[in-house]
Every structure is written in structure tokens, then in C-alpha cells.
Homo-oligomer: A and B are copies of this chain.
Amino acid sequence: MASHDDDLSGFREEVRQWLEQNCPPSARNVPQNADNSFWGGRNAVHGNEDRKLWFERMAQRGWTVPSWPQRYGGGGLDASQARILAEEMRRIDAVNPLQSLGIMMLGPALLEFGSEEQKLEHLPKIARGEIRWAQGYSEPGAGSDLASLQTRAEDCGDHFLVNGQKIWTTYGHKCDMIFTLVRTDPQAPKHQGISFLLIDMADPGVEARPIRQLSGNENFSETFFTDVRVPKANLVGVINRGWDVAKYLLTFERTTMGSSGSGAQGEGLDQAALRLFGREGLAREPGLRQEIAEVLIGTWSARIAGQRLFDQGKAGAISPFSPSVLKLLATELDTRRTRAMMALGGFDHLDPGGSAAYKWLDAPTNCIAGGSNEIQLNILSKRALGLPEA
């Protein structure tokens, strides 16, 4: 134990020094939100030269994806080391060098289900921010009932011919490639005729149209496929077994959504309460104050849950239901938090350009996306509790 701990404290020291030397001041203390993030891709846009440098230095060490194997462009760190890196980055408030669904979603799927060729082809490009990936799951008629999807990939010998429509493609209109679920066997039972396919969005027949949300943001697109030719090499895993890959990835997505909510970005509700109300004001409106206190209690509980999930991971004792639990509770808490923040600012927070209104209008999306919270409740009641179908 002691010697591993010693190793780790040496590692921490090394990381700390490296970060001090390599993370430029303007890559620190940057509000970490979707707009400020570097997303990579063929049309990559860096916030500024310093942040570009920061990204390149991190990519060089494989620390854009610290725990991926080095041969795929990763840093090859173990869980403890990766955590130390994250902690040290947080200590100096370094901005995330590269944000991407490739890192969060496709990478883990390829590591688990991809062929060696696919790993060597795609993972380094993700790590180096060369390709920005979109996720193509939901369809207009297949939301909660994802497996009823109708986008069709027809086997044409050396390629698939893809026709159909996806919706809720995160930043689809800004992405280079998309990993999709497509139906390859229309005759099979609905979970058994689905495959997991990688499609280049620059290919003829692919069109992505942005969707405007309540907040005015355009974080999603509709994506249309019209006679798109996709090479067979782009099939991940076994044909007609794409649902296995999807299930695996949905769990990742839930965990991400479950943890992102627990640490609110930007000014916290607690601090806003002090700033807007002052210590005396907190006594004047006991109802709102109690609501804020309850949201804080939820936030602290969720943080502990994140810590516990990490510890369980290290101990190899993660419950398969934790992602659903965290996704459900964190997204609802987030909705409640943004509502309390709206109330706190009263008339001033009705400003559609302000961050309070923006976050409040965006929060419900996460209760629906990534498997609606009703789906999480179904998962928990059916699988965790073993309650029977009607």
C-alpha cells in the first residue's frame, strides 16, 4: 500500500509541475461550458492561441484521454493516476483541453466492441481532436422506445445503403462523423435487427438541420440520410447485435448526465442566494430559503454519490443500476436548482439573455434525453426490483 501511495504522491508532484509549466494562464479560470469548450473536428475553432497550445501539449501526452491505452493516443493512466490528474487540473482550474462525444461515448464503445483496425483508425483521431463525432440514436417515432427505430441500412455487398432520419443529434450540424443505430434486419424482433454503424457526415446524402430549443440554443439537429453509401468496415461489433453496443453506451451517457448535474457550472445557488438576498434577506423569505437549502442538500448528496461511485469503481463493486439512479436524481435536481435560481432573481432572472433563464430552459432537456427519466424508472423497477410486466 505505502509504496503505491508513494508512487502516487510522486506522480502528483510531477503532474503538478508539468501543469504549472504547460497550462497557460488564459486556459485557466475559464467557465467550463459548452461554448467555451474546444470540440476539435475538421473545422476546429480554438478559443485563443494559448488554449490551442494547451490542447496540443495535452494531446501530445495523451492527456486528452488520460486513461486510454497509449497505442490509441491515450495517456495510459490507471484510475488513481487519472483521478490525480483531474484533481490537479481542478486545483488550478484548468479548462478541459478537448470535449467530445468521441471521448465520452464512441471511444469506450470502440474499446469494448471495435476491431483492432477500427481502434487504430478512429481512437487516435478522437484523442487528437481531428474528428468531431455525433451520436445518432433517437428518431421522431423512436424516443423512449429507442429500439423501434426505423432508419434502415441495406446490405449491398461491399457497402450499406442507409436511408432514414435521426433526431436529437447533439451538435449534429457541427460534427464530422456520426455513430448510429440502424436497422439491418427489418424482419427480426425489434431489439435483434439493429446494428451500430459509423457514417461520415461529409458523405453525399447526409444532411443535418439544427433544432432550436426553448433556450434559443441549437445544441441538437435533425439528421437525414438519403441513399448514403457506408463502407462495411464501418460496422462496429456483430451485425444485428448493435443493441448490445447501444445499451453499453447508454449506461455511459447516464453516468455522465448523472454526474454533470451534481456540480452546477457557474455561480452556485448558494452563493447567488447570499449575493442577491444577503444574510438578512435569507430570513425574510423562509420558503425560498428552505427550497434552496433542500437543493443544496440534494447537491451535496449527489456529490457524495459521485465519490462513492468512484470508490466502488476502484473496488470493482459498481451497481449496474447506479447510472439510472444518478441520471434520474441529478437531472431532476438540476431542474429544481435552476427553478430556485429563477425565483431568487425574480424579475431580473426573466432576462432571456441571462444565465439563469438559459439554464432553466435547458434543464428539462436532460430529464428527457439519454433515456427519459421514465425509462430510468422502468429500468429500476423491472431490473433492480424485479417487478413484473403488466
Contact = CB atoms under 8 A, between A and B. Distances in A.
A289 B285 CA distance: 11
A293 interface: yes
Nearest to A282: B286
A290 B294 CA distance: 13
A293 B293 CA distance: 17
Contact of A283 (B283, B293, B390): B283
Contact of A290 (B283, B287, B390): B287
A12 B178 CA distance: 80
A290 B285 CA distance: 10
A283 B286 CA distance: 8
Interface residues of A, number: 7
A390 B287 CA distance: 40
Given A286-B289, A286-B290, 8 more contacts: A283-B283, A283-B286, A286-B286, A286-B287, A287-B290, A287-B293, A290-B290, A390-B390
Interface in A269-298: 283, 286-287, 289-290, 293
Contacts of A286: 283, 286-287, 289-290
Interface in A182-198: none
Contacts of A390: 390
Interface of A: 283, 286-287, 289-290, 293, 390
A81 B290 CA distance: 47
10 contacts: A283-B283, A283-B286, A286-B286, A286-B287, A286-B289, A286-B290, A287-B290, A287-B293, A290-B290, A390-B390
A293 B286 CA distance: 11
Contacts of A283: 283, 286
A299 to B, nearest CB: 17
Contacts of A290: 286-287, 290
Contacts of A293: 287
Nearest to A287: B290
A293 B290 CA distance: 13
Contacts of A287: 286, 290, 293
Contacts of A289: 286
A295 to B, nearest CB: 13
A287 B286 CA distance: 7
Q: Chain B CB within 10 Å — which of A283, A286, A293, A390 has the most?
A: A286
Nearest to A294: B287
A313 to B, nearest CB: 35
